[in-house]
Structure 1
Amino acid sequence: MKGSRKIRVLPGFGLSLGFSIFYISLLVLIPLAAVFIKSFDLTWAQFWSTVSNPRVVASYRISFSTAFWAGAINAVFGLLVAWVLVRYRFPGKGLIDSLVDIPFALPTAVAGIALTTIYAKNGWIGSLLDPLGIKVAYSQSGIIIALVFIGLPFVVRTVQPVLQDLEKEREEAAVMLGAYRLRTFIKVILPELLPALLTGFALSFARGIGEYGSVVFISGNMPLKTEIAPLLIMTKLEQFDYAGATAIAAVMLTISFILLLLINLLQWKMNRRTLSE
């Protein structure tokens, strides 16, 4: 048959794809490209001197390490919260389910002020921890707590639908075959949840890397100790050092992209393994 073409069930693919590419380019690709283009105002020696400064390197280490640990904590407790909300019925369940989304709606500056007030030495919780020699506010522990607060909903809302769609018959079959509850969870439930759990971790981790508002209050912003990379970028901008700010941002963007690419690759392999089984 001459000129036979496959007729699409849903028309308008070309137009919608073109609009999608234009929209993503306008809001994502072009601004990100501008970061790298602006950093070209520096010579290689100036660029390397900026990004390899001990203060800048320390800010990278603090930003990525605290975001990683916050994401890991959220992966564990976010799974627990999602499990409770899906598998149990209890009074106030709807209220708790709504409270999970508060970090989405709450301004980050408000969250930072609230956490600092609570965890400072004279705060409700800080006053109890201070006699034990535990310092939360104005330390990296405070940064992790702030990032846990803003990142928890990403894990809960990612894992929750998967738990709801999980077939309970497989769990019942495992129990009938003599598997203990822990073994059933590890061998039957966890493999189904791992892709979603990894996605939630990646979202929480990515959110934590670029977080500024909630961290700037509780961290204390001490260079080489609690100063995060986004704050250092803001400092450069306030000094009208736009090339230096974009140089730091370009390195941070590159590292973030590589880490997220590795996480997505791991998630793809896990999904492929699950489908093959």
Structure 2
Amino acid sequence: MTILQPSTNSAKLPSAKPVLAIVYLSFLLDNILLTVVVPIVPVYLISVDGSRDHDTKSKVSLVNSTRLDELFLEENGRVGFLLSSKAVVQLLVNPLVGYAARYTGYTLPLFVGSVNLLTSTLLFAIGESYGSLFFARSLQGFASACIGVSGMCLVAEQCQTEGSRSKVMGVVLGSVALGVLLGYPFGSFLYDFVGKTAPFVGIAILTTFNIGCQLVYLDLKPPAETSGRPTSWSELMSDGLILLTVGAIWVSTSAMAVLEPCLPLWLLTTIKPEVG
């Protein structure tokens, strides 16, 4: 494991504003995709399974069917595994991206993550089976690891002083909250009124624009020499501030992670809204 120090040679750095805007947009799109699937996947999987039983793709007839409660029970575990696959992959890939960034620089992992985010979005758009959706969600975990690690490194590199770095990180991380805020209604409304493909096409268009901006404004070439000093895991885990930060992130994200797989199905069984 390596702690990467911000570069002190500002003459070699690209203009800060375009880079920070690209990082902001990357974080925003990643978190919109993270949450846009939550209201879509449970109902879509139930409609697909229900159509096999009733020989129809009508979601209205599915809601009125006698097998509805059984389908909810069957899908609950599958939805949980599908949604959690992203976090499992990201957890495994995060340290690998941090290590690789020492040799590739920060911009290349961001670009690779954005390309994989686009691929994941398109797979969600065209995927019709549980396996394809599971793979798309897992691929997003790889994309999120690349975007998250390299994005924060770019922010630290662009902001040389502690005060400016803290201020800009607060603004950039606001894109995470904004993406979560937009993703749920964006996915549910478009899925209900247009169809499953519509929200993912919108995200894909914005992600393509983001990739184009990266090609224009970012230098994707690896650095001529590496910087920073190697730091062991034991040294990192013995730092109280690091442990406190890890704990705070874990607690703050656990609530959303617990609600995402079960809340949509609970609403369908308890409130019984019209889904057709």
TM-score, structure 2 as length reference: 0.33
Larger radius of gyration: 1
Identify which of structures 1 and 2 has the higher relative contact order when contacts are C-alpha pairs closer than 8 Å and 6+ apart: 2
